[in-house]
Protein backbone atom coordinates (compact mmCIF):
# COMPACT_ATOMS: atom_id res chain seq x y z
CA UNK A 1 0.00 0.00 0.00
CA UNK A 2 1.29 3.48 -0.80
CA UNK A 3 2.53 5.38 2.19
CA UNK A 4 -0.01 8.10 2.90
CA UNK A 5 1.59 11.27 4.28
CA UNK A 6 -1.65 12.57 5.73
CA UNK A 7 -3.06 12.11 9.23
CA UNK A 8 -6.42 10.44 9.72
CA UNK A 9 -8.35 10.56 12.95
CA UNK A 10 -9.44 7.35 14.59
CA UNK A 11 -13.09 7.69 13.64
CA UNK A 12 -12.23 8.45 10.01
CA UNK A 13 -9.60 5.83 9.33
CA UNK A 14 -10.74 2.72 7.47
CA UNK A 15 -10.11 -0.49 9.28
CA UNK A 16 -7.24 -2.66 8.20
CA UNK A 17 -9.69 -5.07 6.68
CA UNK A 18 -11.17 -2.32 4.57
CA UNK A 19 -8.01 -0.47 3.54
CA UNK A 20 -7.05 -0.61 -0.13
CA UNK A 21 -3.84 -2.47 -0.92
CA UNK A 22 -1.69 -1.28 -3.79
CA UNK A 23 1.50 -2.57 -5.34
CA UNK A 24 4.23 0.12 -5.04
CA UNK A 25 5.82 1.49 -8.22
CA UNK A 26 9.29 2.81 -8.92
CA UNK A 27 9.71 6.53 -9.65
CA UNK A 28 10.05 5.94 -13.40
CA UNK A 29 7.09 3.55 -13.56
CA UNK A 30 4.85 6.01 -11.71
CA UNK A 31 5.32 8.62 -14.42
CA UNK A 32 4.86 6.07 -17.18
CA UNK A 33 1.63 4.98 -15.48
CA UNK A 34 0.50 8.64 -15.37
CA UNK A 35 1.03 9.06 -19.10
CA UNK A 36 -0.88 5.86 -19.80
CA UNK A 37 -3.81 7.11 -17.71
CA UNK A 38 -3.74 10.45 -19.50
CA UNK A 39 -3.84 8.78 -22.92
CA UNK A 40 -6.99 6.97 -21.83
CA UNK A 41 -8.52 10.25 -20.62
CA UNK A 42 -7.50 12.01 -23.84
CA UNK A 43 -9.31 9.38 -25.91
CA UNK A 44 -12.50 9.96 -23.91
CA UNK A 45 -12.26 13.76 -24.09
CA UNK A 46 -11.42 13.79 -27.79
CA UNK A 47 -14.42 11.63 -28.58
CA UNK A 48 -16.87 14.17 -27.16
CA UNK A 49 -15.81 17.06 -29.39
CA UNK A 50 -14.84 14.98 -32.43
CA UNK A 51 -18.43 13.78 -32.69
CA UNK A 52 -19.79 17.35 -32.59
CA UNK A 53 -17.75 18.31 -35.65
CA UNK A 54 -18.91 15.21 -37.55
CA UNK A 55 -22.65 15.56 -36.83
CA UNK A 56 -23.58 17.10 -40.25
CA UNK A 57 -21.82 14.26 -42.09
CA UNK A 58 -23.51 11.64 -39.87
CA UNK A 59 -26.89 13.22 -40.53
CA UNK A 60 -26.43 13.18 -44.30
CA UNK A 61 -25.14 9.60 -44.37
CA UNK A 62 -27.60 7.89 -42.01
CA UNK A 63 -30.66 10.08 -42.62
CA UNK A 64 -31.09 11.45 -39.11
CA UNK A 65 -33.76 14.10 -38.66
CA UNK A 66 -32.64 17.31 -36.95
CA UNK A 67 -34.31 16.31 -33.67
CA UNK A 68 -33.06 12.72 -33.64
CA UNK A 69 -29.51 13.79 -34.50
CA UNK A 70 -29.13 15.26 -31.02
CA UNK A 71 -29.34 11.73 -29.59
CA UNK A 72 -25.94 10.89 -31.04
CA UNK A 73 -24.62 13.26 -28.36
CA UNK A 74 -27.36 12.90 -25.74
CA UNK A 75 -27.20 9.11 -25.46
CA UNK A 76 -23.53 9.36 -24.55
CA UNK A 77 -24.04 12.22 -22.09
CA UNK A 78 -26.83 10.45 -20.19
CA UNK A 79 -24.77 7.31 -19.59
CA UNK A 80 -21.54 9.20 -18.94
CA UNK A 81 -22.93 11.81 -16.55
CA UNK A 82 -25.20 9.36 -14.79
CA UNK A 83 -22.54 6.77 -13.97
CA UNK A 84 -19.48 8.85 -13.03
CA UNK A 85 -20.13 8.94 -9.30
CA UNK A 86 -20.98 5.24 -9.10
CA UNK A 87 -17.96 4.35 -11.26
CA UNK A 88 -15.63 6.29 -8.98
CA UNK A 89 -16.93 4.49 -5.90
CA UNK A 90 -16.69 1.12 -7.64
CA UNK A 91 -13.00 1.86 -8.11
CA UNK A 92 -12.62 2.18 -4.34
CA UNK A 93 -14.51 -1.05 -3.73
CA UNK A 94 -13.15 -3.45 -6.36
CA UNK A 95 -9.94 -1.72 -7.46
CA UNK A 96 -9.40 1.33 -9.64
CA UNK A 97 -7.14 -0.53 -12.06
CA UNK A 98 -9.89 -3.09 -12.68
CA UNK A 99 -12.51 -0.40 -13.30
CA UNK A 100 -10.17 1.55 -15.61
CA UNK A 101 -9.38 -1.51 -17.74
CA UNK A 102 -13.04 -2.55 -17.87
CA UNK A 103 -14.02 0.92 -19.01
CA UNK A 104 -11.37 0.89 -21.72
CA UNK A 105 -12.62 -2.46 -23.03
CA UNK A 106 -16.25 -1.28 -23.15
CA UNK A 107 -15.39 2.08 -24.72
CA UNK A 108 -13.12 0.59 -27.39
CA UNK A 109 -15.62 -2.14 -28.33
CA UNK A 110 -18.46 0.37 -28.51
CA UNK A 111 -16.30 2.64 -30.70
CA UNK A 112 -15.92 -0.21 -33.20
CA UNK A 113 -19.70 -0.68 -33.28
CA UNK A 114 -20.20 3.09 -33.73
CA UNK A 115 -17.82 3.15 -36.67
CA UNK A 116 -19.55 0.19 -38.32
CA UNK A 117 -23.05 1.59 -37.73
CA UNK A 118 -25.32 1.85 -40.76
CA UNK A 119 -28.50 2.87 -38.95
CA UNK A 120 -29.68 5.46 -36.45
CA UNK A 121 -30.69 2.89 -33.83
CA UNK A 122 -27.36 1.05 -33.79
CA UNK A 123 -25.33 4.25 -33.58
CA UNK A 124 -27.38 5.74 -30.74
CA UNK A 125 -27.32 2.47 -28.76
CA UNK A 126 -23.56 2.11 -29.26
CA UNK A 127 -23.06 5.71 -28.12
CA UNK A 128 -24.92 4.91 -24.88
CA UNK A 129 -22.62 1.94 -24.26
CA UNK A 130 -19.66 4.18 -25.13
CA UNK A 131 -20.80 6.55 -22.38
CA UNK A 132 -20.75 3.67 -19.87
CA UNK A 133 -17.17 2.85 -20.84
CA UNK A 134 -16.15 6.50 -20.74
CA UNK A 135 -17.54 6.91 -17.22
CA UNK A 136 -15.73 3.83 -15.91
CA UNK A 137 -12.44 4.90 -17.52
CA UNK A 138 -12.35 8.56 -16.52
CA UNK A 139 -13.98 8.40 -13.07
CA UNK A 140 -11.08 6.65 -11.34
CA UNK A 141 -8.10 8.42 -12.92
CA UNK A 142 -7.70 11.23 -10.39
CA UNK A 143 -8.04 8.72 -7.57
CA UNK A 144 -5.19 6.68 -9.03
CA UNK A 145 -3.05 9.79 -9.46
CA UNK A 146 -3.33 11.01 -5.86
CA UNK A 147 -2.63 7.48 -4.65
CA UNK A 148 0.44 7.05 -6.86
CA UNK A 149 1.78 10.51 -6.03
CA UNK A 150 1.28 11.14 -2.28
CA UNK A 151 3.95 13.86 -2.05
CA UNK A 152 2.53 17.38 -2.60
CA UNK A 153 5.00 18.50 -5.26
CA UNK A 154 4.80 15.35 -7.38
CA UNK A 155 1.05 15.27 -6.94
CA UNK A 156 0.68 18.89 -8.12
CA UNK A 157 2.78 18.17 -11.19
CA UNK A 158 0.86 15.00 -12.02
CA UNK A 159 -2.50 16.75 -11.57
CA UNK A 160 -1.25 19.53 -13.85
CA UNK A 161 -0.59 17.01 -16.61
CA UNK A 162 -4.02 15.44 -16.09
CA UNK A 163 -5.79 18.82 -16.03
CA UNK A 164 -4.15 19.83 -19.30
CA UNK A 165 -5.21 16.63 -21.03
CA UNK A 166 -8.76 16.76 -19.65
CA UNK A 167 -9.29 20.44 -20.49
CA UNK A 168 -7.31 21.04 -23.68
CA UNK A 169 -8.43 17.76 -25.23
CA UNK A 170 -11.69 19.41 -26.22
CA UNK A 171 -9.90 21.96 -28.40
CA UNK A 172 -7.72 19.23 -29.94
CA UNK A 173 -10.88 17.24 -30.69
CA UNK A 174 -12.26 20.03 -32.86
CA UNK A 175 -9.09 19.95 -34.95
CA UNK A 176 -8.91 16.14 -35.18
CA UNK A 177 -12.61 15.90 -36.02
CA UNK A 178 -12.27 18.39 -38.83
CA UNK A 179 -9.28 16.57 -40.34
CA UNK A 180 -10.80 13.07 -40.14
CA UNK A 181 -14.27 14.08 -41.33
CA UNK A 182 -13.03 16.12 -44.28
CA UNK A 183 -10.16 13.87 -45.39
CA UNK A 184 -11.64 10.38 -44.83
CA UNK A 185 -15.17 9.96 -43.40
CA UNK A 186 -17.07 10.31 -40.14
CA UNK A 187 -16.66 6.57 -39.45
CA UNK A 188 -12.99 7.17 -38.68
CA UNK A 189 -13.69 9.44 -35.72
CA UNK A 190 -14.70 6.19 -34.00
CA UNK A 191 -12.26 3.79 -35.67
CA UNK A 192 -9.30 5.89 -34.49
CA UNK A 193 -10.19 4.88 -30.92
CA UNK A 194 -9.40 1.22 -31.63
CA UNK A 195 -5.58 1.38 -31.86
CA UNK A 196 -5.45 3.98 -29.06
CA UNK A 197 -7.70 1.92 -26.79
CA UNK A 198 -5.88 -1.35 -27.43
CA UNK A 199 -2.43 0.19 -26.92
CA UNK A 200 -3.56 1.97 -23.74
CA UNK A 201 -5.05 -1.23 -22.35
CA UNK A 202 -1.86 -3.20 -23.11
CA UNK A 203 0.37 -0.65 -21.36
CA UNK A 204 -2.10 -0.15 -18.51
CA UNK A 205 -2.14 -3.89 -17.81
CA UNK A 206 1.63 -3.83 -17.39
CA UNK A 207 2.35 -0.53 -15.63
CA UNK A 208 -0.68 0.43 -13.52
CA UNK A 209 -0.36 -0.57 -9.84
CA UNK A 210 -2.48 -3.52 -8.79
CA UNK A 211 -4.98 -2.51 -6.15
CA UNK A 212 -7.53 -4.80 -4.53
CA UNK A 213 -9.94 -2.14 -3.31
CA UNK A 214 -11.54 -2.02 0.12
CA UNK A 215 -14.18 -4.62 -0.73
CA UNK A 216 -17.91 -4.52 -0.22
CA UNK A 217 -17.51 -5.07 3.54
CA UNK A 218 -20.88 -5.51 5.21
CA UNK A 219 -22.67 -5.40 1.89
CA UNK A 220 -22.87 -3.17 -1.15
CA UNK A 221 -25.16 -0.17 -0.97
CA UNK A 222 -27.35 -1.34 -3.85
CA UNK A 223 -30.26 1.01 -3.03
CA UNK A 224 -27.86 3.96 -2.87
CA UNK A 225 -26.31 3.02 -6.20
CA UNK A 226 -29.74 2.72 -7.83
CA UNK A 227 -30.89 6.08 -6.41
CA UNK A 228 -27.85 8.14 -7.45
CA UNK A 229 -27.54 6.57 -10.91
CA UNK A 230 -31.24 6.99 -11.72
CA UNK A 231 -31.20 10.53 -10.32
CA UNK A 232 -28.21 11.67 -12.37
CA UNK A 233 -29.36 9.94 -15.57
CA UNK A 234 -32.85 11.42 -15.26
CA UNK A 235 -31.40 14.85 -14.52
CA UNK A 236 -29.10 14.77 -17.56
CA UNK A 237 -31.99 13.52 -19.70
CA UNK A 238 -34.13 16.42 -18.48
CA UNK A 239 -31.37 18.86 -19.46
CA UNK A 240 -30.73 17.52 -22.95
CA UNK A 241 -34.30 16.66 -23.96
CA UNK A 242 -37.40 18.45 -22.55
CA UNK A 243 -35.54 21.46 -21.10
CA UNK A 244 -33.47 22.06 -24.23
CA UNK A 245 -36.38 21.52 -26.64
CA UNK A 246 -39.41 22.89 -24.77
CA UNK A 247 -37.85 25.19 -22.20
CA UNK A 248 -37.35 24.90 -18.44
CA UNK A 249 -40.91 26.03 -17.78
CA UNK A 250 -42.48 23.13 -19.66
CA UNK A 251 -44.51 20.63 -17.69
CA UNK A 252 -42.33 17.70 -18.66
CA UNK A 253 -39.09 19.47 -17.74
CA UNK A 254 -40.45 20.57 -14.36
CA UNK A 255 -41.92 17.16 -13.60
CA UNK A 256 -38.84 15.15 -14.52
CA UNK A 257 -36.59 17.65 -12.77
CA UNK A 258 -38.65 17.31 -9.59
CA UNK A 259 -38.42 13.51 -9.75
CA UNK A 260 -34.64 13.71 -10.25
CA UNK A 261 -34.28 15.99 -7.23
CA UNK A 262 -36.50 13.72 -5.13
CA UNK A 263 -34.34 10.72 -6.04
CA UNK A 264 -31.21 12.68 -5.12
CA UNK A 265 -32.71 13.71 -1.78
CA UNK A 266 -33.55 10.07 -1.11
CA UNK A 267 -29.96 9.14 -1.96
CA UNK A 268 -28.58 11.67 0.55
CA UNK A 269 -30.96 10.37 3.22
CA UNK A 270 -29.84 6.84 2.48
CA UNK A 271 -26.15 7.79 2.75
CA UNK A 272 -26.71 9.45 6.12
CA UNK A 273 -28.20 6.27 7.61
CA UNK A 274 -26.62 3.36 5.71
CA UNK A 275 -24.09 1.23 7.60
CA UNK A 276 -21.92 0.93 4.47
CA UNK A 277 -22.84 3.97 2.34
CA UNK A 278 -21.91 4.31 -1.30
CA UNK A 279 -20.77 7.90 -0.70
CA UNK A 280 -19.41 8.80 2.74
CA UNK A 281 -20.83 12.27 3.39
CA UNK A 282 -17.82 13.10 5.58
CA UNK A 283 -15.97 14.02 2.40
CA UNK A 284 -17.93 17.28 2.39
CA UNK A 285 -16.64 18.32 5.81
CA UNK A 286 -13.75 20.02 4.08
CA UNK A 287 -14.77 23.46 2.90
CA UNK A 288 -12.12 23.28 0.18
CA UNK A 289 -13.42 19.99 -1.22
CA UNK A 290 -17.02 21.22 -1.24
CA UNK A 291 -16.00 24.66 -2.52
CA UNK A 292 -13.82 23.26 -5.29
CA UNK A 293 -16.65 21.09 -6.62
CA UNK A 294 -19.05 24.05 -6.57
CA UNK A 295 -16.49 26.24 -8.35
CA UNK A 296 -15.99 23.48 -10.89
CA UNK A 297 -19.72 23.31 -11.62
CA UNK A 298 -19.94 27.10 -12.04
CA UNK A 299 -16.75 27.72 -14.01
CA UNK A 300 -17.27 24.97 -16.59
CA UNK A 301 -20.43 26.78 -17.74
CA UNK A 302 -18.30 29.59 -19.12
CA UNK A 303 -15.76 27.15 -20.57
CA UNK A 304 -18.40 24.98 -22.25
CA UNK A 305 -20.10 28.11 -23.55
CA UNK A 306 -16.82 29.45 -24.90
CA UNK A 307 -16.06 26.31 -26.89
CA UNK A 308 -19.61 25.60 -28.06
CA UNK A 309 -20.77 29.14 -28.87
CA UNK A 310 -17.30 30.11 -30.04
CA UNK A 311 -17.31 27.31 -32.59
CA UNK A 312 -20.73 28.44 -33.82
CA UNK A 313 -19.48 32.03 -34.10
CA UNK A 314 -16.50 30.91 -36.17
CA UNK A 315 -18.60 28.76 -38.50
CA UNK A 316 -21.88 30.68 -38.85
CA UNK A 317 -20.68 34.28 -38.60
CA UNK A 318 -17.03 34.25 -39.71
CA UNK A 319 -17.66 31.29 -42.08
CA UNK A 320 -14.73 29.11 -40.95
CA UNK A 321 -14.78 25.48 -42.01
CA UNK A 322 -14.31 22.63 -39.50
CA UNK A 323 -10.52 22.59 -39.82
CA UNK A 324 -10.20 26.36 -39.48
CA UNK A 325 -12.42 26.23 -36.40
CA UNK A 326 -10.10 23.69 -34.78
CA UNK A 327 -7.05 25.79 -35.62
CA UNK A 328 -8.72 28.88 -34.13
CA UNK A 329 -8.72 27.17 -30.72
CA UNK A 330 -5.11 25.97 -31.02
CA UNK A 331 -3.60 28.81 -28.90
CA UNK A 332 -5.78 27.68 -25.98
CA UNK A 333 -4.29 24.20 -26.17
CA UNK A 334 -0.70 25.43 -26.45
CA UNK A 335 -0.97 27.86 -23.54
CA UNK A 336 -2.83 25.42 -21.31
CA UNK A 337 -0.23 22.78 -22.04
CA UNK A 338 2.68 25.06 -21.25
CA UNK A 339 1.20 26.23 -17.97
CA UNK A 340 -0.35 22.96 -16.77
CA UNK A 341 2.63 20.74 -17.52
CA UNK A 342 5.51 23.12 -16.91
CA UNK A 343 4.48 25.69 -14.33
CA UNK A 344 1.28 24.73 -12.48
CA UNK A 345 3.10 22.43 -10.06
CA UNK A 346 5.57 25.19 -9.12
CA UNK A 347 2.81 27.77 -8.69
CA UNK A 348 0.59 25.50 -6.59
CA UNK A 349 3.41 24.38 -4.31
CA UNK A 350 4.81 27.91 -3.99
CA UNK A 351 1.64 30.00 -3.59
CA UNK A 352 -1.05 27.41 -2.79
CA UNK A 353 -3.94 26.10 -4.85
CA UNK A 354 -6.36 28.81 -3.69
CA UNK A 355 -3.99 31.66 -4.57
CA UNK A 356 -3.23 30.13 -7.97
CA UNK A 357 -6.92 29.55 -8.70
CA UNK A 358 -8.16 33.12 -8.23
CA UNK A 359 -6.20 34.87 -11.02
CA UNK A 360 -7.04 31.99 -13.34
CA UNK A 361 -10.75 32.51 -12.79
CA UNK A 362 -10.35 36.27 -13.31
CA UNK A 363 -8.64 35.65 -16.68
CA UNK A 364 -11.44 33.31 -17.80
CA UNK A 365 -13.95 36.00 -16.81
CA UNK A 366 -11.99 38.56 -18.84
CA UNK A 367 -11.91 36.23 -21.86
CA UNK A 368 -15.69 35.84 -21.81
CA UNK A 369 -16.26 39.59 -21.48
CA UNK A 370 -13.91 40.35 -24.38
CA UNK A 371 -15.58 37.68 -26.55
CA UNK A 372 -18.95 39.28 -25.78
CA UNK A 373 -17.77 42.27 -27.85
CA UNK A 374 -16.69 40.34 -30.96
CA UNK A 375 -18.11 41.98 -34.14
CA UNK A 376 -19.82 40.44 -37.16
CA UNK A 377 -16.80 41.09 -39.37
CA UNK A 378 -14.29 40.19 -36.67
CA UNK A 379 -10.59 39.73 -37.35
CA UNK A 380 -8.96 36.69 -35.82
CA UNK A 381 -5.82 38.52 -34.73
CA UNK A 382 -7.63 41.54 -33.28
CA UNK A 383 -10.91 40.11 -31.96
CA UNK A 384 -10.32 36.39 -31.34
CA UNK A 385 -6.66 35.76 -30.53
CA UNK A 386 -6.70 37.90 -27.33
CA UNK A 387 -9.66 35.82 -26.13
CA UNK A 388 -7.81 32.58 -26.81
CA UNK A 389 -4.72 33.86 -24.94
CA UNK A 390 -6.74 34.93 -21.89
CA UNK A 391 -8.67 31.66 -21.89
CA UNK A 392 -5.57 29.49 -22.32
CA UNK A 393 -3.66 31.16 -19.48
CA UNK A 394 -6.74 31.29 -17.25
CA UNK A 395 -7.63 27.64 -17.75
CA UNK A 396 -3.99 26.60 -17.36
CA UNK A 397 -3.97 28.19 -13.91
CA UNK A 398 -7.50 27.27 -12.86
CA UNK A 399 -8.00 23.58 -13.51
CA UNK A 400 -4.83 22.09 -11.97
CA UNK A 401 -5.52 24.15 -8.83
CA UNK A 402 -9.17 23.03 -8.81
CA UNK A 403 -8.22 19.37 -9.14
CA UNK A 404 -5.76 19.73 -6.27
CA UNK A 405 -8.41 21.28 -4.03
CA UNK A 406 -11.09 18.77 -5.01
CA UNK A 407 -8.82 15.84 -4.14
CA UNK A 408 -7.36 17.42 -0.99
CA UNK A 409 -9.70 15.49 1.33
CA UNK A 410 -9.33 12.06 -0.24
CA UNK A 411 -8.11 9.13 1.83
CA UNK A 412 -6.81 6.10 -0.07
CA UNK A 413 -10.16 4.39 0.50
CA UNK A 414 -12.18 7.34 -0.83
CA UNK A 415 -9.96 8.60 -3.66
CA UNK A 416 -12.15 7.03 -6.33
CA UNK A 417 -15.25 8.65 -4.85
CA UNK A 418 -13.57 12.08 -4.81
CA UNK A 419 -12.39 11.56 -8.39
CA UNK A 420 -15.85 10.54 -9.58
CA UNK A 421 -17.40 13.48 -7.72
CA UNK A 422 -15.25 16.15 -9.36
CA UNK A 423 -15.90 14.60 -12.79
CA UNK A 424 -19.62 14.53 -12.06
CA UNK A 425 -19.79 18.19 -11.06
CA UNK A 426 -17.93 19.12 -14.24
CA UNK A 427 -20.16 17.10 -16.57
CA UNK A 428 -23.52 17.84 -14.95
CA UNK A 429 -22.64 21.49 -14.35
CA UNK A 430 -21.43 21.87 -17.92
CA UNK A 431 -24.47 20.13 -19.42
CA UNK A 432 -26.89 22.17 -17.32
CA UNK A 433 -25.10 25.44 -18.03
CA UNK A 434 -24.81 24.78 -21.74
CA UNK A 435 -28.52 23.98 -21.95
CA UNK A 436 -29.30 27.31 -20.28
CA UNK A 437 -26.90 29.21 -22.53
CA UNK A 438 -28.19 27.56 -25.71
CA UNK A 439 -31.84 28.20 -24.81
CA UNK A 440 -31.35 31.86 -23.90
CA UNK A 441 -29.04 32.44 -26.86
CA UNK A 442 -31.58 30.98 -29.28
CA UNK A 443 -34.37 33.11 -27.78
CA UNK A 444 -32.25 36.26 -28.10
CA UNK A 445 -31.41 35.44 -31.73
CA UNK A 446 -35.10 34.92 -32.54
CA UNK A 447 -36.05 38.24 -30.94
CA UNK A 448 -33.37 40.13 -32.87
CA UNK A 449 -34.37 38.47 -36.15
CA UNK A 450 -38.00 39.40 -35.52
CA UNK A 451 -36.89 43.01 -35.03
CA UNK A 452 -35.30 43.04 -38.49
CA UNK A 453 -31.65 42.28 -37.70
CA UNK A 454 -29.60 40.43 -40.30
CA UNK A 455 -29.00 36.72 -39.81
CA UNK A 456 -25.38 37.26 -38.80
CA UNK A 457 -26.23 40.07 -36.40
CA UNK A 458 -29.07 38.09 -34.84
CA UNK A 459 -26.84 35.05 -34.33
CA UNK A 460 -24.07 37.19 -32.88
CA UNK A 461 -26.48 38.86 -30.47
CA UNK A 462 -27.42 35.45 -29.13
CA UNK A 463 -23.77 34.42 -28.76
CA UNK A 464 -22.95 37.67 -26.97
CA UNK A 465 -25.69 36.98 -24.43
CA UNK A 466 -24.36 33.46 -23.87
CA UNK A 467 -20.84 34.77 -23.24
CA UNK A 468 -22.16 37.35 -20.76
CA UNK A 469 -24.15 34.70 -18.88
CA UNK A 470 -21.08 32.47 -18.81
CA UNK A 471 -19.15 35.42 -17.40
CA UNK A 472 -21.80 35.73 -14.69
CA UNK A 473 -21.33 32.08 -13.70
CA UNK A 474 -17.56 32.59 -13.62
CA UNK A 475 -17.99 35.68 -11.41
CA UNK A 476 -20.09 33.54 -9.05
CA UNK A 477 -17.24 30.98 -8.98
CA UNK A 478 -14.85 33.78 -7.97
CA UNK A 479 -17.15 34.76 -5.11
CA UNK A 480 -17.23 31.15 -3.89
CA UNK A 481 -13.44 30.94 -4.13
CA UNK A 482 -13.01 34.10 -2.04
CA UNK A 483 -15.64 33.30 0.60
CA UNK A 484 -15.53 29.49 0.94
CA UNK A 485 -12.00 28.34 0.20
CA UNK A 486 -9.48 28.64 2.99
CA UNK A 487 -5.98 30.02 2.73
CA UNK A 488 -3.13 27.59 3.43
CA UNK A 489 -1.97 27.15 6.97
CA UNK A 490 1.64 27.84 7.83
CA UNK A 491 4.01 24.95 7.19
CA UNK A 492 7.77 24.41 7.50
CA UNK A 493 9.65 26.26 4.78
CA UNK A 494 11.27 24.26 2.01
CA UNK A 495 13.14 25.82 -0.91
CA UNK A 496 11.42 25.27 -4.26
CA UNK A 497 12.64 25.55 -7.85
CA UNK A 498 12.26 29.31 -7.71
CA UNK A 499 14.65 29.42 -4.74
CA UNK A 500 11.80 30.65 -2.53
CA UNK A 501 10.49 29.06 0.65
CA UNK A 502 7.65 26.64 -0.02
CA UNK A 503 4.64 27.36 2.20
CA UNK A 504 2.83 24.19 1.21
CA UNK A 505 5.48 21.55 1.51
CA UNK A 506 3.51 19.31 3.81
CA UNK A 507 -0.05 18.02 3.42
CA UNK A 508 -2.58 18.64 6.15
CA UNK A 509 -4.96 16.24 7.91
CA UNK A 510 -7.49 14.52 5.71
CA UNK A 511 -10.99 15.97 5.99
CA UNK A 512 -9.70 18.91 7.99
CA UNK A 513 -10.15 22.37 6.55
CA UNK A 514 -7.30 21.99 4.09
CA UNK A 515 -6.33 24.65 1.59
- pLDDT for 217-263, tens place per residue? 545 667 877 887 788 778 877 876 777 667 767 888 888 889 989 99
Dist. CA 482–CA 365, nearest whole Å:
15
Q: What pLDDT, on the 0 to 100 scale, is given for residue 386?
A: 94
Same structural domain for residues 206 and 141? yes
**Domain boundary at 277, 310, 343, which?**
277
Q: Is residue 515 part of a domain?
A: no
Q: What pLDDT, on the 0 to 100 scale, is given for residue 45?
A: 80
251-307: per-residue pLDDT in tens? 888 888 899 899 989 988 888 887 777 777 777 777 888 888 889 889 888 887 787
Same structural domain for residues 303 and 417? yes
Q: Are 511 and 7 in contact (CB under 8 A)?
A: no
Mean pLDDT value of segment 114-121: 87
**Domain boundary at 236, 258, 277, which?**
277
Q: Is residue 29 part of a domain?
A: yes
Share of the chain above pLDDT 90, in %: 15
**Closest Cα to residue 182, out of 60, 307, 53, 64?**
53
**Domain boundary at 233, 257, 277, which?**
277
Q: What pLDDT, on the 0 to 100 scale, is given for residue 140?
A: 82
pLDDT tier for residue 366 given thresholds of 50, 70 and 90: very high
Give Cβ neighbours of residue 483 (< 8 Å, ≥ 6 apart).
none
Same structural domain for residues 309 and 213? yes
Same structural domain for residues 439 and 381? yes
Dist. CA 213–CA 1, nearest whole Å:
11
Q: What pLDDT, on the 0 to 100 scale, is given for residue 361?
A: 93
Please count the structural domains in the chain: 2
E strand or H helix that includes residue 502: strand 501-502
Total Cβ atoms within 10 A of residue 323: 17
Dist. CA 131–CA 402, nearest whole Å:
24
Same structural domain for residues 42 and 91? yes
pLDDT tier for residue 409 given thresholds of 50, 70 and 90: low
432-479: per-residue pLDDT in tens? 777 778 778 888 888 898 888 888 899 899 999 999 999 999 999 999
The secondary structure of residue 70, as a DSSP letter, is T
In order of 288, 293, 384, 426, 505, the CA distances from 488 in angstroms are 10, 18, 37, 25, 11
pLDDT tier for residue 359 given thresholds of 50, 70 and 90: very high
Dist. CA 188–CA 184, nearest whole Å:
7
Query: Over 70: is that where the pLDDT of 329 sits?
Result: yes
493-503: per-residue pLDDT in tens? 333 433 333 43
Q: What pLDDT, on the 0 to 100 scale, is given for residue 5?
A: 33
Q: Are 266 and 226 in contact (CB under 8 A)?
A: no
Range of 349's domain? Answer: 22-220+278-502
Q: Is residue 342 part of a domain?
A: yes
62/152: higher pLDDT? 62
Q: How many CA atoms lie within 13 A of 16 on its CB side?
A: 0
Q: Is residue 1 part of a domain?
A: no
Q: Is residue 10 part of a domain?
A: no
41/168: higher pLDDT? 41
In order of 51, 65, 130, 305, 423, the CA distances from 72 in angstroms are 8, 11, 11, 20, 21
Mean pLDDT value of segment 86-114: 88
The secondary structure of residue 501, as a DSSP letter, is E
* CATH code for position 213: 1.20.1250.20
Q: What pLDDT, on the 0 to 100 scale, is given for residue 71?
A: 76
93/373: higher pLDDT? 373
Same structural domain for residues 95 and 238? no
Q: What pLDDT, on the 0 to 100 scale, is given for residue 111?
A: 93
Same structural domain for residues 328 and 429? yes
Contacts 24+ apart (CB under 8 A), 370-377: 371/306, 371/310, 371/467, 372/464, 372/467, 372/468, 372/471, 373/464, 374/313, 374/460, 374/463, 374/464, 375/460, 376/317, 376/454, 376/456, 376/457, 376/460
Same structural domain for residues 247 and 144? no
Q: Is residue 358 part of a domain?
A: yes
Same structural domain for residues 89 and 34? yes
- Helix H segments across 385-414? 385-406
Burial class of 505 by CB neighbour count within 10 A (0 to 12, 13 to 18, 19+): middle
Give Cβ neighbours of residue 15 (< 8 Å, ≥ 6 apart).
none
In order of 227, 420, 468, the CA distances from 455 in angstroms are 45, 42, 20
Query: Over 90: is that where the pLDDT of 27 sits?
Result: no
Mean pLDDT of the chain: 77
Same structural domain for residues 297 and 340? yes
pLDDT tier for residue 341 given thresholds of 50, 70 and 90: low
Q: Is residue 6 part of a domain?
A: no
Q: What pLDDT, on the 0 to 100 scale, is given for residue 507?
A: 37
Helix axes 96-116, 71-94, angle to 10 degrees: 160
Q: Is residue 321 part of a domain?
A: yes
Q: What pLDDT, on the 0 to 100 scale, is given for residue 163?
A: 75
Same structural domain for residues 245 and 194? no
Total Cβ atoms within 10 A of residue 355: 18
189-214: per-residue pLDDT in tens? 888 889 989 999 999 898 887 777 66
Same structural domain for residues 315 and 185? yes
Q: What pLDDT, on the 0 to 100 scale, is given for residue 7?
A: 34
Share of the chain above pLDDT 70, in %: 80
Amino acid sequence: MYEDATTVTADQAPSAAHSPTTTPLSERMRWIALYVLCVGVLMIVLDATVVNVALPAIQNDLGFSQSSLAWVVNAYLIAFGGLLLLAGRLGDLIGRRTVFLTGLAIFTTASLVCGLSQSETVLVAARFVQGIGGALTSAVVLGMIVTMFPQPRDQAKAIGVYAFVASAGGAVGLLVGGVLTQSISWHWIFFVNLPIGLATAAFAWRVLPKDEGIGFGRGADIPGAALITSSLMLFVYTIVKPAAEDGWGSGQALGLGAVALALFAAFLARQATATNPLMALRIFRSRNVSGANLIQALSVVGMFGMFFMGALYFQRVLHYDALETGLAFLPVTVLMGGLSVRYSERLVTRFGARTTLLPGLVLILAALLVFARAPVDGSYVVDVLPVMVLLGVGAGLTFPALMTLAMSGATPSDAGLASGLVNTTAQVGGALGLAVLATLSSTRTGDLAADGASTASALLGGYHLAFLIGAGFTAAAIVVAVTVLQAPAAAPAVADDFGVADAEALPEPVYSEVR
